[in-house]
């Protein structure tokens, strides 16, 4: 398979040109066409000679591909479906859940109380909320296991990856959200997701491989609004910080003067709180951060978000408090509201205590009903009361507008599947 030019840095594009017997400046021309001009066709690169394009195309692929499906919402939101061939999507390397279960049989592991029955198995995590006390690994051992899940362990893949032996394609979705003065792209970073959040369709479909930087950037270049995009949020399919190398490379292309030349202020990366990569992100990037919080009580957060066991929200906040968010870089906390579960005064007051003194914003998100899930969205009155209580206690809080629900493009609904309107 040819190497993709999309996702390469300026220096790498120059090296690619030289490797084809061309001058290095051809690489700079490639960067201008791909990134600045958003051109995805060799024939339109008019200042590169036909012979040079022939030499390059014999060794390299541009790395762009058109979406295979499009859905348009009544509110103007547009969802795009892309076919990808992620790193590892057939043979499964044991994931963190498998390793955790294996560790339960090892001596020296302590009692873990109130473990959720039915964690992610295969492609369909259980959504039951029964609880029991089990003999299993200590929280520290689980944290170590899941942290190792983020490191390379076999042939450049990660634990939980599927090795691509048959070239079976996967599908990812991105969502273009139009507003009066901007067009925001909600971009995917993985095919599926390992985190297994009970209320998220992506997590319920399991993990199917890491996207390359080219796969991420192609979502920007190959949509109808490529020339008009103003902002992006890494809030589509997958956990961005579980694919940090590809995400950080995509951000480099988006923000570099030889790339899209976007300000970091136009980019927000969302995370469940993958602590090892979160520190890298906070140290190495100037983009905004959004943290999926959803419940201020750790034991309740664990019921909805298995990753709480590995990365406790209190430890995540301890890290975030070490950084300055009083200037141009902002941190926000995403809080999906479930009726009768996390929408009352007790939860609002606990959230106020948890975030006290931190320069931040809380975004309240309407839950969009998915099959076989026991909760409904909180009422409008409950959401407004929750918002007002936070604002009255100096925690900035807003209710996020819901977009694209009719085409399954709203928060938590992306699953990488064709819809009836495709």
State the catalytic residues: 173, 411
**How many angstroms separate the CA atoms of 182 and 89, rounded?**
35
DSSP string, 265-326: GGEEEEES--HHHHHHHHHH--SEEEEE---SSHHHHHHH-GGGGTS-HHHHHHHHTTS--S
Instruction: Determine the Cα angle at 10 with ends 5 and 13, to 5°.
Output: 40
**How many angstroms separate the CA atoms of 123 and 139, rounded?**
24
DSSP string, 369-382: P-TT-S--BPPHHH
Longest dimension (CA), the chain: 69
Q: Are 207 and 160 in contact (CB under 8 A)?
A: yes
Q: Are 136 and 115 in contact (CB under 8 A)?
A: yes
**Cβ-Cβ contacts under 8 Å for 412 (sequence gap 6 or more):** 197, 199, 200, 201, 202, 336, 367, 368, 370
Q: In 28-136, where do the E strands start and end?
A: 60-61, 69-72, 78-84, 91-92, 111-116, 131-135
- What dihedral angle (degrees, nearest 10) is formed by the CA atoms of 278, 267, 271, 350? 100
């Amino acid at each position: 398979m040819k190497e993709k030019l999309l996702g390469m840095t300026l220096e790498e594009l120059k090296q690619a040109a030289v490797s084809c017997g061309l001058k290095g400046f051809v690489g700079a021309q490639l960067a201008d066409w791909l990134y600045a001009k958003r051109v995805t066709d060799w024939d339109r690169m008019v200042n590169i000679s036909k012979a040079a394009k022939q030499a390059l195309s014999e060794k390299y692929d541009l790395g762009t591909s058109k979406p295979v499906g499009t859905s348009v919402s009544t509110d103007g939101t547009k969802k795009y479906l892309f076919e990808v061939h992620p790193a590892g999507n057939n043979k499964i390397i044991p994931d963190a859940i498998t390793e955790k279960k294996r560790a339960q049989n090892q001596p020296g592991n302590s009692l873990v109380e109130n473990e959720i029955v039915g964690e992610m198995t295969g492609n369909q995590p259980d959504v039951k909320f029964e609880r029991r006390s089990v003999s299993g690994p200590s929280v520290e051992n689980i944290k170590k296991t899941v942290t190792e899940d983020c490191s390379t362990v076999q042939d450049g893949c990660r634990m939980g990856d599927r090795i691509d032996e048959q070239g079976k394609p996967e599908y990812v979705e991105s969502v273009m959200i139009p507003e009066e003065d901007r067009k925001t792209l909600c971009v995917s970073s993985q095919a599926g997701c390992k985190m297994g959040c009970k209320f998220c369709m992506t997590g319920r479909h399991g993990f199917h491989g890491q996207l390359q930087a080219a796969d991420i950037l192609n979502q920007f270049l190959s949509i109808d609004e490529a020339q008009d995009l103003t902002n992006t949020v890494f809030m589509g399919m997958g956990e961005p910080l579980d694919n940090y190398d590809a995400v950080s490379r995509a951000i480099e292309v988006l923000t570099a003067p030889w790339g899209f030349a976007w300000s970091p202020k136009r980019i927000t990366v969302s995370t469940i709180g993958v602590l090892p990569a979160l520190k890298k992100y906070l140290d190495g990037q100037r983009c905004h951060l959004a943290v999926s919080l959803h419940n201020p009580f750790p034991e309740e957060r664990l019921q909805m978000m298995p990753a709480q066991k590995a990365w406790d929200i209190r430890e995540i906040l301890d890290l975030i408090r070490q950084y300055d968010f009083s200037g141009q870089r902002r941190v926000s906390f995403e809080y999906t509201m479930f009726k009768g579960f996390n929408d009352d005064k007790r939860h609002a007051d606990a959230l106020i205590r948890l975030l006290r003194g931190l320069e931040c914003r809380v975004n309240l998100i309407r839950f969009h009903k998915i099959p076989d899930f026991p909760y409904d969205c909180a009422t409008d009155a409950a959401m407004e009361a929750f918002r007002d209580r936070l604002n009255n206690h100096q925690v900035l809080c807003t209710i996020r507008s819901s977009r694209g629900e009719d085409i399954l493009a709203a928060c938590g609904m992306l699953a990488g599947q064709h819809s009836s309107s495709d």
